[in-house]
Amino acid sequence: MFDTRHIDPFWKGLQSCEPYRPAADWLLESPYHRPTDLSALPVETLDEPLRPDTLLTQRSLVLNRLLFNIYQQNNLYLPEGRFSDADTRAFQGFYEPRFVAANALVRPALDRTCFDFLSREISVDGPWTIEHLEEYCTRLLADYEATPSDLCLRIEASPHPQQAARAYLVQLAVDFLAEASQMALALPGNYGPAQSEMMKIFIDEFGYGVHQKKHSTLFVKTIESVGLSARMHTYYYWYLPSSLLLTNYFFWTTVHKPSWFESLGGLYWAEAVNPYFHRRFGQLLKKVFGREGTDTGYFDEHAGIDLHHRRMAFDKLMRPMVRQYGDAVIPAMVRGIETYRLLGDLTERDFLAQMDFCDALLTGGAAASGPVDLSLAEERPRGFLLEPRVCDVDTVVAVARGEVEVDAGYLQPRRLGAGEAVRVPAGRMVGARVVSEGARLSVAPERPVGRG
Ligand SMILES: [Fe+2]
Ligand SMILES: [Fe+2]
């Protein structure tokens, strides 16, 4: 069933489908348009699992975009205004049964490509008892809360703290614009008291039916108050591979039912770290944007309610599950906790490295380390978009003629004129758009500087 040759026709269909076509701009206007450039990837790419050293690459970005879009087809999105003809076509296209089916057929192989490395990286050797698990969780949490948030400190210290804070909110938007939708996928069925306990957490996440209290609504108010668009996945192009991977992992553990016990561990840790981190991040937003008009309601809410949610996740979900099914289910819970910690560290590392590059770019740095060869620069029309992508090797973006804007996720491009160039370190994301007629642009691996 997982033989990739059998899914090749569906893969080819996805390579040329309408919802995955490239966009004209790096801010997207429709929740049904998800540029996913599969053209350079044959179906055999699914036979090559991502590894720790390939997680922050262009292939990982594209595969995680694809997986994100596949899982997102479980979520309903509607246009903000009336349905235009274009909206209607795009809406029906995104949820079209044959398109959904092609995505679904690809998903099992793609899940394995994206998550296989976790089984090698994480060890959950026992023996475990509920007492060990409780001790382990208490110790992890105490350590976490005793360590100052490097991320907040680095954003504060950035020469562009507002842009950096917005860029981080963009990474959170991957998940928070439809927060807890994964949990909704864990609820169907009939599996005893745990289901009703899970429902209690879910009800809080969804504002117990009051739209203004729904966590995703609180998030929207927060990001709008600092100048970001709340339109669904406007910033899709700027989602880093690690942010997509973390969200995809939550989808995977809820959709893939044998991962139930693992999903509880992930849920516990996600709720457990929120009170500390969200209190800190809410304070940071006020500091960076000023107290006036900065809505930190989303972060304030989580600093409080997730103290309950983490207790509920442990005492009402994990503990009774172990009592009922025995110690044998504990390693999967530990796996969920450890995976969340590993992916949490990865997202932070990825974001901080991207932030460093964005800071350098906006401050006028990020210079190429040697002379730039412009002989291969190609003519590009005004409006040409180099889709935001991850550079797998150190890369130089250079302008031979005209003007080009370059951005890396700060949503404030740097304008390069003729003869100017920037160096993009390996693993970093960059996008460019031509803003003058008849520009000549080169995007090429940086050549080692010769000696002598
Ligand atoms: Fe929440
Ligand atoms: Fe929560």
Task: Provide DSSP, 328-366.
Answer: GGHHHHHHHHHHHHHHHHHHHHHHHHHHHHHHHHHTT--
Cα(130) to ligand 1 centroid in Å equals: 26
Work out the number of other CB atoms within 10 angstroms of the CB of residue 429. Answer: 25
Distance 265 CA to ligand 2 centre (A): 14
Asked if residues 323 and 252 have their Cβ atoms less than 8 Å apart, the reply is: no
205 vs 186: CA distance, rounded Å: 14
Provide the pLDDT for residue 1.
53
Flag whether pLDDT at 320 surpasses 70. Answer: yes
Closest ligand to the CA of 275: 2
Measure 178 CA to ligand 2 centroid, in angstroms: 13
CA distance 289 to 91: 36
DSSP states along 396-444? EEEEEES-EEEESSSS-PEEE-TT-EEEE-TT-EEEEEE-STTEEEEEE
pLDDT digits (tens, 9 = 90+) for 228-258: 999 999 999 999 999 999 999 999 999 999 9
Span 192-211, pLDDT tens digits: 999 999 999 999 999 999 99
- The pair of structure tokens assigned to 394 is 């150190």
Distances (CA, A) of 250 to 53, 137, 175, 298, 326: 22, 20, 10, 20, 24
Q: How far is the CA of 233 from the centre of ligand 1 (A)?
A: 18
Q: Ligand 2 centre and the CA of 31: distance in Å?
A: 25
Average pLDDT over residues 440-448: 91
CATH H superfamily, domain 122-362? Heme oxygenase-like (1.20.910.10)
Q: How far is CA 35 from the centre of its chain?
A: 15
What is each CA distance from 138 to 86, 141, 169, 319, 326, in whole angstroms?
52, 5, 28, 14, 21
> What is the mean predicted confidence (pLDDT) over 173-191?
97
Residues present in the chain in total: 452
How much is the pLDDT for 425?
98
| Protein residues within 5 Å, CB atom, of ion ligand 2 | 271, 306, 309
Q: Which ligand is nearest to the CA of 217?
A: 1
Gap from CA of 299 to ligand 1 centroid (Å):
9
- Residue 5: which pLDDT band, with cuts at 50, 70 and 90? confident
Q: Which ligand sits closest to the CA of 206?
A: 1
pLDDT tier for residue 452 given thresholds of 50, 70 and 90: very low
* CA–CA dist 331, 128 (Å, integer): 7
Q: What's the 215 CA to ligand 1 centre distance in angstroms?
A: 5
Enumerate the domain spans of the chain: 4-116, 122-362, 378-445
Tell me the pLDDT tens digit for each residue of 329-374: 999 999 999 999 999 999 999 999 999 999 999 999 999 888 888 8
Question: Ligand 2: distance of its center to the CA of 198 in Å?
Answer: 11
Q: What is the percentage of the chain residues whose pLDDT exceeds 70?
A: 99
- Amino acid making up residue 181: S
- Identity of the amino acid at 420: E
Nearest to 409 by CA among 348, 349, 362: 362
Q: Ligand 2: distance of its center to the CA of 302 in Å?
A: 7
| Distance from residue 177's CA to the centre of ligand 1 (Å) | 11
CA distance 243 to 111: 16
State mean pLDDT over 316-327.
Answer: 97
pLDDT at 449: 61
Ligand number nearest to the C-alpha of 200 = 2
Exposed / middle / buried, residue 120 (Cβ in 10 Å: 0-12, 13-18, 19+): exposed
Instruction: Quick: pLDDT tens for 391-422.
Output: 999 999 999 999 999 999 999 999 999 999 99
Strand order of the sheet with strand 429-434? 385-390, 429-434, 404-407, 414-416
Kind and range of the H or E element at 380? Answer: strand 378-380
* DSSP-derived 3-state class of residue 246: helix
> Encoding tokens for residue 235?
């910033």
CATH class of the domain whose range is 378-445: mainly beta
Q: Inform me whether the pLDDT recorded for 77 exceeds 60.
A: yes
Mean residue pLDDT of the chain comes to 96
- Mean per-residue pLDDT for 443-449? 84
DSSP, res 94: H
Residue 441 pLDDT? 97
Q: Which H or E run includes 297?
A: helix 297-312
Q: For residue 451, what pLDDT band results from cuts at 50, 70 and 90?
A: very low
Question: What is the mean pLDDT of the segment spanning 162-166?
Answer: 98
Asked whether the predicted pLDDT for residue 2 surpasses 70, the reply is no
Q: pLDDT tens for residues 256-296?
A: 999 999 999 999 999 999 999 999 999 999 999 999 999 99
